[in-house]
Structure 1
Amino acid sequence: MKKSSFLLALFAVCASLAGLNVQADVASYPSKPIRILVGYVPGGSTDGLARALGLELSEKLAQPVIVVNRPGGLTIPVVQAMLQSPADGYTLAVFDSSTVAINQFLFKKPPYDASKFTTISMLAQNPMGIIVTPSYPAKTVNEVVADLRAKPETAFASPGPGTVMHLTMELFRKRADLDQMVHVPYKGGAPALQDIMAGHVPIAMMDIASSAALIKGGNVRLIAVTTDKRLEAFPDVPTIAEAAYPGFSSISSYALYGPPGIPPAIVEKINSAVKDAMASPRMNTWLTGVSLLSTYLPAAETKSEIEREAIKYSKIIKSLGLSTDN
């Protein structure tokens, strides 16, 4: 046999064996613990969702599911950790809209391309609302707008520049013609809420999951929510759309991702388990308790939804001239 023919035959055998190994890996998946990466500290809504999901998946996939927190850096470190992991389905990540639909527009040279991620499933959505300090005189959206027009340079808080909450407040300001308000960015939602409670900053657009306990405790007041319908946890609080601005809607999404190149059969296995997990009574009880909305979608629909979010947020970021490079 000529050397070239021998090498071709050897290559064919190796390729065949590699294919068999891939098929075996898919058939046996999962055969070891799975990691879910989270880009925030323990205790927040993203972390809580990942842990609740992990509990369900560990039962449905018969393997431990371990949540690993990699906070900080606009979630860039956690994205890098995921991208450096093998595309075998054993390293996944729960990302919110900031990571997959916003960050790429905040950099002149984006540190990653979210469109390359393996999209697995939409998990839930995190509604937001107009939060004010308890002593704030306005009680309705129209009263809030009237007060802010009378005091045009009123400060508003956010968990940080370029966050979903910040951009949603900018949408509201544009709709209500509140051009002169002063943005006060914080390093997270907790310190922003603390200053709202203390009255140092009177108003913010905040996610309901992190604010719910404070709202129920009377530490802050919820004026209106950003969803299309009223929230089950706060049925007496109107939507911004019904109260003043028809069509106004904004919400942050949570979805499950993996590194590029996970075999489709493994993605389907994970997706099937996630679908069952998000439908479980235990999961739905947990979601309702923290005011997250269960919105499971399969991979293709999730990708389409995130692409729509990205288009919306890119326009806001461009109009504001926001950039981490400034």
Structure 2
Amino acid sequence: MQRFTPILRRLAAPTLALALALGALAPAMRTAAAAEWPARPLRILLGAPPGGTADIVARLYAVELQRALGQPVIVDYKPGAAGTIAVQTMLSAPRDGYTFLLIQKGIAAEVPHAIKVSYDPFKDIVPVAQLTRQGLMLVGNPGLPAKSLAELVAYIKANPGKLDYANFGIGLRGQTIGVQFNRLAGLQTGSVNYKGSPPALQDIMGGQVALMFDGPASSLPLIKGGRLRAFAIAFPKRIAALPDVPTFAELGYPELNEVGWMGLWAASGVPPAIVAKVREAAIQAMQSRGLQKKLEELGMEAGTPVATEALARDVRESYERQGALLRSIGFTPQ
């Protein structure tokens, strides 16, 4: 074996040199790839079915991103499992900057508390840009004797334990904001779990459940049609689509003002230069007055050019608040 050692060393030397050379070239190769990007269509994974609010947002932004990037932007539906199927699809794709995810910040701030996920919400996925901003609105059956939030609080206190509120997913913000409101207002209401807003809203209109914290986009047509009553919105300001609905802060509950947002996300490891280009295109899209107007009609507003570090910090802070609330009611993931 010893007589072969010099030969093996001579054979290994060029191989090692080649590996070192390729390693040294890798950053340059990634930079070149980023410079040529995009050379083919991009894919935006959507953790929701066609026809919903997220679909509308995805299509609005796809048009604007296509215009900015010069390549088709395809919306690819991957609904189910609270959005985690879409996350896994993105994480399984090459990290070449052609696959992104459009989903609520709850995919990192809420879902990991509600169900056991196989991804690290702070290492495996990173927010690229905030696309929309919205708050949750307290809505109820129009047959309730209360016409305002103050009257509603008084009515619930006069009927302790008799009213329930629906939530659009166990362990998600629609449930914990109800817990928060109960504590702040000194109320006793139960929580009824539903798989999404549509079935919950149907039961509210049918009188099976009294109240719900819901996103404006799904409740808005029903409010305007007189089938739901809106009491207040958990948002820093009133929204253009419902200017007569006050914020919780206006009514004495400043704690209920957290901004929910839908964003564009990437898998960690996508070249930073590409992420920066996508972010720039998304920020450019936000300036479209046509897009802004359509979002306002949905009870939302276009996102703001918040730095990615600030978005990540907001996700982490929301995650901590959500976890604390869930632990306080003894919640355990499914």
Q: TM-score, normalised by structure 2?
A: 0.92
> In structure 2, what is the Cα distance between the partners aligned to 1:295 and 1:212?
20
1:149-160 alignment, distance < 5 Å: 149-153=157-161, 154-160=163-169
Contact 2:114 2:170 in 1 (8 A): no
Identify the residue that residue 114 of structure 1 maps to in structure 2: 121
2:308 equivalent among 275, 285, 299: 299
Contact 1:227 1:239 in 2 (8 A): yes
Contact 1:164 1:252 in 2 (8 A): no
Identify the residue that residue 61 of structure 1 maps to in structure 2: 69
- For residues 52-83 of structure 1, the C-alpha deviation after alignment (integer angstroms, 9 at most, x for no partner) is 11111011001111111111112221111111
> In structure 2, what is the Cα distance between the partners aligned to 1:112 and 1:170?
27
Tell me how far 1:46 sits from its aligned partner.
1.8
RMSD: 1.7
Identify the residue that residue 35 of structure 2 maps to in structure 1: 27
Q: Secondary structure at the match of 2:253?
A: coil
Tell me how far 1:215 sits from its aligned partner.
0.8
Tell me how far 1:17 sits from its aligned partner.
4.7
Identify the residue that residue 199 of structure 1 maps to in structure 2: 207
Q: Within the alignment, does 1:321 sit opposite 2:330 as a pair?
A: yes
1:258 equivalent among 257, 263, 266: 266
Tell me how far 1:214 sits from its aligned partner.
0.8
Tell me how far 1:212 sits from its aligned partner.
0.8
- For residues 300-323 of structure 1, the C-alpha deviation after alignment (integer angstroms, 9 at most, x for no partner) is 221111112111111111112222
Tell me how far 1:16 sits from its aligned partner.
4.5
Tell me how far 1:284 sits from its aligned partner.
0.6
> In structure 2, what is the Cα distance between the partners aligned to 1:78 and 1:39?
5
1:96-135 alignment, distance < 5 Å: 96-107=104-115, 110-116=117-123, 117-135=125-143
Identify the residue that residue 179 of structure 2 maps to in structure 1: 170
Q: Within the alignment, does 1:312 sit opposite 2:315 as a pair?
A: no
Q: Within the alignment, does 1:51 sit opposite 2:64 as a pair?
A: no
> In structure 2, what is the Cα distance between the partners aligned to 1:162 and 1:97?
14
Contact 2:129 2:264 in 1 (8 A): yes
Q: Secondary structure at the match of 1:94?
A: strand
Identify the residue that residue 6 of structure 2 maps to in structure 1: none
State the AA in 1 paired with 2:98: Y
Tell me how far 1:15 sits from its aligned partner.
2.8
Q: Give the count of matched residue pairs.
A: 323
Q: Within the alignment, does 1:287 sit opposite 2:295 as a pair?
A: yes
> In structure 1, what is the Cα distance between the partners aligned to 2:42 and 2:289?
23
Matched-pair identity in %: 34
Q: Secondary structure at the match of 1:115?
A: coil
> In structure 2, what is the Cα distance between the partners aligned to 1:318 and 1:251?
22
Largest Rg, 1 or 2? 2
Contact 1:101 1:309 in 2 (8 A): yes
State the AA in 2 paired with 1:272: E
> In structure 2, what is the Cα distance between the partners aligned to 1:270 and 1:165?
31
Distance 1:288 1:76, change over 3 A: same
> In structure 1, what is the Cα distance between the partners aligned to 2:141 and 2:313?
37
> In structure 2, what is the Cα distance between the partners aligned to 1:161 and 1:251?
20
Identify the residue that residue 249 of structure 1 maps to in structure 2: 257
- Structure 2 spans left out of the alignment, 5+ residues: 1-8
> In structure 1, what is the Cα distance between the partners aligned to 2:213 and 2:308?
30
State the AA in 2 paired with 1:115: F
Contact 1:38 1:71 in 2 (8 A): yes
Q: Secondary structure at the match of 1:81?
A: helix
> In structure 1, what is the Cα distance between the partners aligned to 2:314 and 2:131?
12
- For residues 224-268 of structure 1, the C-alpha deviation after alignment (integer angstroms, 9 at most, x for no partner) is 111121111111111111123234313322111111201111111
> In structure 1, what is the Cα distance between the partners aligned to 2:168 and 2:121?
22
1:214-229 alignment, distance < 5 Å: 214-229=222-237
> In structure 2, what is the Cα distance between the partners aligned to 1:105 and 1:163?
8
> In structure 2, what is the Cα distance between the partners aligned to 1:12 and 1:246?
58
State the AA in 2 paired with 1:299: T
- For residues 132-164 of structure 1, the C-alpha deviation after alignment (integer angstroms, 9 at most, x for no partner) is 111111011111111111222211111121222
Larger CA deviation: 242-251 vs 281-290: 242-251
Contact 2:113 2:171 in 1 (8 A): no
Contact 1:118 1:261 in 2 (8 A): no
Tell me how far 1:29 sits from its aligned partner.
0.8
> In structure 2, what is the Cα distance between the partners aligned to 1:197 and 1:271?
40
Larger CA deviation: 269-278 vs 238-247: 238-247
State the AA in 2 paired with 1:140: S
> In structure 1, what is the Cα distance between the partners aligned to 2:126 and 2:236?
29
